[in-house]
């Protein structure tokens, strides 16, 4: 996953695409590999919780969050909802504090198309539609570099989430940093 660089000008403080449309956001870059199973303990915890809620109540529901069961990993979670019925773009509804602190970006309220190139937006939207529809989970690992920081391996886990109406297909994800291993109860 790569993020599109943006620039701000004094007369237009909102972000504008950079002239070269380089696949970076500021100086941040990320490249990921897909995996069948989560390897980070917190990623496994999220997958286990998803499987348990799928068996007990048909899936994780937005109306059930936040919840005590996920409290150890809530700072590492984010939620996304499709912008249109075709789900060609996704809005980031909420981002956990650990993600904001570690990446230095609060993407809450932004769309993925604001950070990704059009081709990358289409690619990610396809994955998110599949996850939200319950066709698969998406588990990737990689490295994020830049923003005056270098991170060890990061694991991204995406699971389906039922929207507030109990019917709409949202997605919840976790960003788990390899140097942050918690003991989960």
**Domain residue limits, the chain:** 41-137+156-176
Check: CB of residue 124 under 8 Å from CB of residue 1: yes
Q: Which two tokens stand for residue 124?
A: 């990610």
User: 84 preceded by cis ω (within 30°)?
Assistant: no
User: Of how many residues is the chain composed?
Assistant: 185
Is pLDDT of 165 > 60? yes
- Burial level of 166, CB count in 10 A (0-12/13-18/19+)? exposed
- Specify the 3-state DSSP secondary structure of 90: strand
> Minimum mean pLDDT among 1-5, 58-62, 101-105: which range?
1-5
Is pLDDT of 129 > 60? yes
The mean predicted confidence, pLDDT, of the chain is: 81
Q: How confident is the model at residue 45 (pLDDT cuts 50, 70, 90)?
A: very high
Rounded (to 5) percent helix, strand, coil in the chain: 30, 35, 35
Q: How confident is the model at residue 155 (pLDDT cuts 50, 70, 90)?
A: very high
Is pLDDT of 88 > 70? yes
> Minimum mean pLDDT among 14-18, 92-96, 136-140, 181-185: which range?
14-18
pLDDT tens column, 138-150: 999 887 665 555 5
pLDDT tens column, 2-44: 333 333 333 433 444 444 443 444 445 667 788 899 999 999 9
pLDDT given for residue 104 in this prediction: 80
Quote the CA–CA distance of 37 and 40 in Å, as a whole number: 9
Q: How confident is the model at residue 170 (pLDDT cuts 50, 70, 90)?
A: very high
Please, where are the H alpha helices in 31-109? Answer: 41-57, 97-103
DSSP symbol at 35: E
Report the sign of the C-alpha dihedral through residues 166, 73, 51, 83, in that order: positive
| pTM, full prediction | 0.79
């Amino acid at each position: 996953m790569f993020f599109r660089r943006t620039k701000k000008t004094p007369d237009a403080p909102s972000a504008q695409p950079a002239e070269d449309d380089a696949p970076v956001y500021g100086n941040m870059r990320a490249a990921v590999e897909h995996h069948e199973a989560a390897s980070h303990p917190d990623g496994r915890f999220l997958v286990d919780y998803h499987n348990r809620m799928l068996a007990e109540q048909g899936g994780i529901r937005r109306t059930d969050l936040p919840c005590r069961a996920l409290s150890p990993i809530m700072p590492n979670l984010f939620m996304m909802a499709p912008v249109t019925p075709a789900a060609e773009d996704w809005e980031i509804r909420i981002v956990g504090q650990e993600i904001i602190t570690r990446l230095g970006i609060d993407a809450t309220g932004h769309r993925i198309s604001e950070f990704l190139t059009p081709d990358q937006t289409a690619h990610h939207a396809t994955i998110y539609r599949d996850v939200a529809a319950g066709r698969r989970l998406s588990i990737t690992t990689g490295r994020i570099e830049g923003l005056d920081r270098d991170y060890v391996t990061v694991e991204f886990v995406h699971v389906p989430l039922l929207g507030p109406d109990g019917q709409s297909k949202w997605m919840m994800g976790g960003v788990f940093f390899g140097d942050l291993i918690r003991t989960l109860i």
